[in-house]
Amino acid sequence: MAKRHTAAAAACLLLAGCLVWAGRKRTVTYLPDERAFPNAQIGYAPGVLDSGTEGATLRYLGLTWRQLEPEEGAYAWEAIEQTCHLAELRARGVHLVLRISCDEPGDEAHLDIPDWLYEQTGTGRWYDIAYGKGYAPDYTDLVFFAAHERLLRAVGERLGADGFVSYVELGSLGHWGEWHVKSGEGLPSMPDEAVRDRYAALYREAFPQAALLMRRPFRFAAEHELGLYNDMTGLPEDTEEWLGWIACGGWYEGDPEGLVPMPDAWQTAPIGGELTSRLSMEQLLTTDLSRTVSLIRQSHMSFLGPKTAETAFREGYDAVLAALGYRLRVTEASLRRVTGGTVLTLTFTNDGTAPFYWDWPVNVYVEEVDGTTVEAQPLALSLPDLLPGGCQTVKTKLAGVPGRWWEEQDRRITLGIVDPMTGRDAVRFAMQTAQEDGRTVLFAGE
């Protein structure tokens, strides 16, 4: 590991805020870092084959059933993993947003379910509508449902066991997996709530480690504390209607109470989606940038993808990125010498619009000047409970801090949050101090 520059780090700390040393106690206050930057589990989630989104820690993987299981019981894992570079993404610490679909309207007549399944069922309907051409399956077909249960179990075992898939947008039903069908143009309506809930339950069983998101605030989402997603983000009429459903509930498929209020859902489950395709990037990110950012903040969104902001509109790109998800920082840190070591007290806050939803380990490290970790102490910090505007204060005792270490310049104290998938520190704190190798410098020798 490269040698650390502790003097430079100390200078950064002095610039970051107020450093006070009195007797046996030393205190540092830190200013917020308001710049936009990608961070673990939040931000832009471009498609796995897209380029141009800088440093994205999330990637969107959208797969049709036809792509996943071309032959009954034979899954195309090798082709998918090679084409989508999944091993490389996992090694880099990138996580996935996953959606599985059975019906994606297109320019030509086609199937998004496998041929073998169509031959076993064939109870759906071919269509040529305003959305495009395709085939709408009969989701009430028992053969279709049983095969779908096997599919989700297989995908969960392959991709969901180690936390690689962070978010699953419940798809499967309706056009693009969005749980709606263009029934006004002659297609059968979506199945009733009991059938829909059976599909949703399959996802809960298949992906116990992932955060699950539904397109609308269905009763199932409320009862099981699922997240929500909006594929029309930035379009005011659609997004305001979606926010209205979340606030008040609403009508769905003939049921006046098919959607239920979930105004506080974002406090315990993530909100995602993608930017609308109905408005240009110039309108979203320049002309109406303040409106776009306001809608995202009102939604408490953590990620956007696969349609994301374009870097050509730099100001808008950064403004949207900065509005997504948590922004954790330490407001104050103090060291107090005691018998047998030093007590470190840290006060954390969240300047973002959403919590960090995973209970990842938070550690304080004592490091040698060459980067060697001398000591690692876990902090009793509950990340999911640190809501925007809230704060938590925690303490820990460090044995590896010598009495006059700040003069000897031989050690420093850093902070990190470990991604269990990689075992590496992965979260950047939004505070003005040095950040190196996934760790945030709290104190360094002078």
Residue 25, token pair as written in the block? 């106690």
3-state class (DSSP) for residue 391: strand
CB proximity list for 92: less than 8 A, separation 6 or greater = none
Say whether both 145 and 221 belong to one domain.
yes
Q: What values do phi and psi take at 261, rounded to 5?
A: -65, 135
CB proximity list for 56: less than 8 A, separation 6 or greater = 38, 43, 44, 45, 46, 94
Say which CATH number the domain at 264 has: 3.20.20.80
Assess if residue 48 is contained within a domain: yes
Say whether both 130 and 202 belong to one domain.
yes
pLDDT at 1: 35
Assess if residue 275 is contained within a domain: yes
**Structure-token match 């919590």, residue found:** 355
pLDDT at 212: 98
Mean pLDDT of 69-93: 97
pLDDT tens sequence across 309-361:
999 999 999 999 999 999 999 999 999 988 888 999 999 999 999 999 999 99
Say whether both 249 and 354 belong to one domain.
no
Assess if residue 359 is contained within a domain: yes
pLDDT at 407: 52
288, 307, 322 - which closes a domain: 322
Backbone Cα Rg of the chain: 24
Euclidean distance between CA atoms 66 and 45, whole angstroms: 23
pLDDT at 228 over 50: yes
Instruction: Quote the distance between the C-alpha of residue 253 and its chain's center.
Output: 30
Assess if residue 165 is contained within a domain: yes
Say whether both 396 and 252 belong to one domain.
no
pLDDT at 2 over 80: no
Euclidean distance between CA atoms 276 and 100, whole angstroms: 20
Nearest to 381 by CA among 408, 407, 345, 406: 345
Say whether both 261 and 387 belong to one domain.
no
pLDDT at 8 over 50: no
pLDDT at 52 over 80: no
Say whether both 180 and 309 belong to one domain.
yes
Domain that holds residue 337: 6-36+327-444
pLDDT at 403 over 90: no
302, 322, 342 - which closes a domain: 322
* Range with lowest mean pLDDT among 2-16, 127-141, 235-249, 408-422: 2-16
Return the HEC string of 30-90.
CCECCCCCCECCEEECCECCCCCCCCCCEEEEEEEHHHHCCECCECCHHHHHHHHCHHHHH
* Range with lowest mean pLDDT among 73-82, 119-128, 234-243, 367-376: 367-376
Say whether both 189 and 297 belong to one domain.
yes
Q: What values do phi and psi take at 115, rounded to 5?
A: -60, -40
* Range with lowest mean pLDDT among 289-293, 368-372, 417-421: 368-372
pLDDT at 23 over 80: no
pLDDT at 356: 98
Assess if residue 192 is contained within a domain: yes
Say whether both 81 and 217 belong to one domain.
yes
- Computed from CA positions of residues 65, 176, 284, 226, in that sequence, does the dihedral angle turn out positive or negative? negative
Say which CATH number the domain at 361 has: 2.60.40.10
Q: Give bridge partners of residue 20 from the DSSP assignment.
A: 27
pLDDT at 379: 98
Say whether both 267 and 156 belong to one domain.
yes
Number of domains in the chain: 2
Say whether both 234 and 312 belong to one domain.
yes
- Report the predicted TM-score, pTM, of the whole model to 2 decimal places: 0.92
DSSP letter for each residue of 362-385: EEEEEEETTS-EEEEEE----GGG
Say whether both 83 and 185 belong to one domain.
yes
322, 345, 375 - which closes a domain: 322
Assess if residue 1 is contained within a domain: no
Say whether both 417 and 437 belong to one domain.
yes
